[in-house]
Amino acid sequence: MPESPEVQALVEFLDERVVGREIAEIDVAEFRIVKTRGRPPGSLVGARIDGLQRFGKHVGFDTTAGWLMLGFGRNGWIRWHAPDEPPGDEAVPEVARIGLDDGAAMQIVDTGDFLAVTTSVVDAPADLSGIAGLGPDPLDEDFSQDEFERALGTRRKQIKALLQEQTSLAGIGNAYSDEILHRARIAPTRHAAVLDGDERQRLFEATVDVLRGAAADRRGLPPDRLKQAKVAAMAVHGRGGEACPVCGTTIVDRVFGGASAQLCPHCQSEPSPALRRRPG
């Protein structure tokens, strides 16, 4: 699933190449992705792209005819084709294509079995409930520990699920929630309500450090290399059966409420019942 560091790198890559260009054509191959039928993507043909912006795990194109909002779902992405790049022979699951006036193209793909890419044309990003409801974003420069504390609160919800809850914190998915919890040395099954002050501090610092470090590492990479770079950088996610890079213990796979997680049972051990702090 695309998450905020890779989506941010994608936005920065595209911003350098498409701002100021006009949209020459929009070809939608899979009409189920269109969520604003009264304003289809084709209504933006002829519009100039004035800017790009990331909203959590979504991308917004600010054009002279409105905002084109893209949601990638679990397996969506954009493939970039430069103006002088010959068309490839590889068959790809293209759901839409945006052609620019200089001959460049953005190919929107969805490689999953379940179609999850979405497109919407709106006057403002907040016109979409999924954007208006986003929580604070840890990649924002002004993201604060107070915002993080408000997101956690004293909720009796497993911390891994809470980190991925977009209305609480924007941009985190399955992979980075595993990485954050490993960095913070917290088991994914712990509830926010029972975390003590030291654990909450570690979790805040891990959230900021992991996401901002990943965003810095991905900066400048072309879109087709971002997923590979993300996978290669994971310490525990997707590495079940391998050695923990911190302590050498074998990383294990777990399933909680239908969602998978990878963790180090030593670095992220559950405290004994007698030592667990009860919420007041």
280: which DSSP letter? Answer: -
Q: What number does CATH give the domain 4-132?
A: 3.20.190.10
Q: How far, in Å, CA of 131 to CA of 56, rounded?
A: 8
Nearest Cα residue to 217 out of 252, 166, 179: 179
Q: How far apart are CA 253 and CA 120, in angstroms?
A: 37
CATH of domain 145-275: 1.10.8.50
The pLDDT tens digits of the residues spanning 250-280 come to: 999 998 777 789 999 999 998 765 445 444 4
Q: How far is CA 221 from CA 44, 163, 216, 274, in A?
A: 28, 26, 10, 48
Given a cut of 80, whether residue 59 has pLDDT beyond it is yes
Task: Report residue 159: phi and psi, to 5°.
Answer: -65, -30
The mean pLDDT of the chain is 94
Q: Which residue has the tokens 């999924």?
A: 130
Which pLDDT value is given to residue 277?
A: 47
Q: What number is the average pLDDT over the span 151-165?
A: 93
Domain ranges of the chain: 4-132, 145-275
**pLDDT, tens digit (0-9, with 9 covering 90-100), for 18-39:** 999 999 999 999 999 999 999 9
| The pLDDT value given to residue 256 | 76
The larger pLDDT score, comparing residue 248 to residue 272, is at: 248
**pTM for the full model?**
0.93
The span from the CA of 260 to the CA of 237, in Å, is 10
